[in-house]
Chains A and B, each alone.
Chain A
Amino acid sequence: MERKQEIQLLNDILKCINKYESKTLIDLLHLLNEDNFFKTITATLDKLSLLNRNTKKIKTGNNNSELKNPIKFLDTLVEIGRYDKEKADILTELYYKIKQKEILVSLREMKNFVLDSGLPPLKTTSREKAIIPFLKILLTLNIDDLKNKIEKIYNNSTKQDRSLKGWSDIILKNDSNE
């Protein structure tokens, strides 16, 4: 039985070699001989399998009930916290900050951020409904990407002073320095 599967695999490999040509095979063999290759690929596969498990868990939940009851989403974050505490903490904090309108105060701002960051677009039409889908998108990022994006959100929120008073202070301070 196992032999049969091995022969099938060999057959598939030969088809692939035919498709990608022998030069690609030689390049791959060189790559496989590199020391770091297996470490990197194993780490990546580990992360992917974690991510898939995690995403499946979220997808199996009823989306509408999650929107009505974000506690379910927060429960998911608690679950994630068991193996990736840092990510879960970041996303939980982000959830509360968005919810309390400390950052990304409008749907437009949230959509703009998603667009600027090259993330999949948000299709919802209300800010409230966009929060969980937005966090779900962020959930799929690796920790470094996630930190990077979060930093941008916080930086953008500090850029928001566009008041007349702010400009007056700059202009009048300039004048008094002369």
Chain B
Amino acid sequence: MAKTISLINMKGGVGKSTLTVNLAWHFAAYSQWRKKVLVVDLDPQFNASQYLLGVTQYSSMLERGDQTVWDIFESNTRIPGRNVRQLDASTLIQNVITLKNGGVVDLIPSRLELAFSLKNPGHKERQLSKFLYDIKDSYDLILIDCAPTESILTTAAYLSSDYLLVPVKPEYLSSIGLPLLVNSMQDFRKEYDQHNLRLAGVVFNATSEYSPEERLSKNGVRSIASQNGWHIFKSEVSYSRSYPKGAREGQPIFRTSYSRYSQVSKFESFAKEFAIRISL
């Protein structure tokens, strides 16, 4: 049965989607892993879908009328004159790549309309966990790329997850997202005390290792993490121009043209530490 991990931070632009996609590729493609990975794009901005599918595949998907994560949340919504739409995993889950070594990256794509679900959130928070429960046996790892704001989607992600992974960019404004997350998790635990949601840890993302400002931010994050008993990963994902370039090429860092071995290797170290942490 798959381990489900939500990548979450209440601050946007910390690299959640990039990290999600790169982790998915890493665990599917590297010969020591060969995992079947499902990425769930739970952000109405659909960055993970853009990264993994590209324009042509994404627009073909819309033209075919394939379902998206929006359908999961709206599957029980009754519209006058229309039947409740049945979820169909075969059109909902898009295969991005099936590697010869057995590794798979699949995607449940998102779309802008997911934002409309937020306007009418009533009783939708369990829809995602119900859907994922039925397909968990087909995967080794499910990665949920969350939106950076507190909403029904956050609760849905928590209810679906075994662990949270929190990417933090060591910058002043980015680190303020962390206390917001502490609040969000505390509220969730009060309301859903029977759900065992664990924090895999905080990972410093897009680090440069030189700036004094970065050091200050890291110290602030370490202090909050220590107050809450949160783990901080030793390995950091350092900034590299190959990450945005990889998103443009639709490739993970280890397949991006001219990516440096040192950067790829740093990502590998983090992926390894993460896998040990969640017992993958």
Contact = CB atoms under 8 A, between A and B. Distances in A.
Interface of A: 106, 108, 112, 115-118, 158-163, 166-167, 169-171, 174-175
Given A118-B101, A171-B112, A162 B55 contact: yes
B57 interface: yes
A159 B97 CA distance: 12
A162 B112 contact: no
Given A160-B250, A169-B59, A170-B59, 20 more contacts: A106-B257, A108-B255, A112-B255, A115-B99, A117-B100, A158-B56, A159-B250, A160-B54, A160-B56, A161-B54, A161-B55, A161-B56, A162-B50, A162-B54, A162-B55, A163-B55, A169-B55, A174-B112, A174-B113, A175-B112
Given A108-B257, A170-B62, A174-B112, A116 B55 contact: no
A116 B54 contact: no
Contacts, number: 51
A163 B59 CA distance: 13
B50 A167 contact: yes
B251 interface: yes
Query: Interface on chain A toward B: helix, strand, loop, or mixed SS?
Result: helix
Query: Interface on chain B toward A: helix, strand, loop, or mixed SS?
Result: helix
Contacts of A118: 99-101
Contacts of B99: 115-116, 118
Interface of B: 29, 50, 53-59, 62, 97, 99-101, 111-113, 248-251, 255-257
Given A112-B255, A167-B55, A162 B250 contact: yes
28 contacts: A106-B257, A108-B251, A108-B257, A112-B251, A115-B99, A116-B97, A117-B100, A118-B99, A118-B100, A118-B101, A158-B56, A159-B57, A159-B250, A160-B54, A160-B56, A162-B54, A162-B248, A162-B249, A166-B55, A166-B56, A166-B59, A167-B55, A169-B55, A169-B59, A170-B58, A170-B59, A174-B113, A175-B112
A115 B98 CA distance: 11
Contacts of B111: 174
Nearest to A116: B99
A174 B68 CA distance: 14
Contacts of B56: 158-161, 166
A166 B250 CA distance: 14
Contacts of A166: 55-56, 59
Contact of B55 (A115, A170, A174, A175): A170
Contacts of B55: 161-163, 166-167, 169-170
